[in-house]
A and B are shown apart, each in its own frame.
Chain A
Amino acid sequence: MTAATLSPLPEDKQPLVARLIDGLEAPTLLWLSGYLAGVAGQRQPSGKPSAAEPAAVPEAQPRLTVLYGSQTGNAKRLAEDLGRRASAAGLAVRVVRADAYAAREWKQERLLYLVISTQGDAEPPDDSRALVEFLSSARAPKLESLRYAVLGLGDSSYPNFCAIGRQLDERLAALGAQRLLPAGEADVDLETVAHPWLEQALQQAREQLKTSAPLAKVTTLRTARIAPVWHREQPFQAPLLLNQRITGRDSDRDVRHLEFSLDGSGLHYAPGDALGVWPTQSPALVDAVLNTLKLDGDTTVRVGSEEHALRTWLSKHRELTQLTRPFFAAHAERSGDAPLRELLAPAARDTLADLFSRWQVLDLLRRHPAEWTAETLVAALRPLAPRLYSIASAQSVVGDEVHLTVSHVDYALDGEARWGAASRFLAQHAEGENVPVFIEANERFHLPADDRDILMIGAGTGVAPYRAFVQERAERGAGGRNWLVFGNPHFHSDFLYQVEWQAALKSGQLHRIDLAFSRDQAEKRYVQHRLIEQGRRVYEWLDGGAHLYVCGDANRMAKDVHKALVAIVAEHGARSAEDAEAWLSQLIQRGRYARDVY
Chain B
Amino acid sequence: MWVFRFVGLRLVQAVPVLLGISLVAFLAIHLVPGDPVRIMLQGRASDAAVAEIYARLGMDRPLLVQYARFVGRAVTGDLGTSIIQRAPVATIVGERLVPSSFLLVYATLLSVLIAVPLAVWAAARRNRLADHLIRLGGTVSFAMPSFWIGLILILGFGLTLKWFPIAGFGRGFGGHLHHLFLPALTIALFLAPLLIQSLRAAMLDAMTAEHVEVARAKGLSESRILFKYVLRAASIPVVTILAVNIGWLVSGSVIVESVFSVAGLGMLLVHAVSTRDYPVIQGLTLVFAVMVIGTNLLADLAYALIDKRVRAE
Q: Does A associate with B in a complex?
A: no
B residues neighboring A (CB under 8 Å):
none
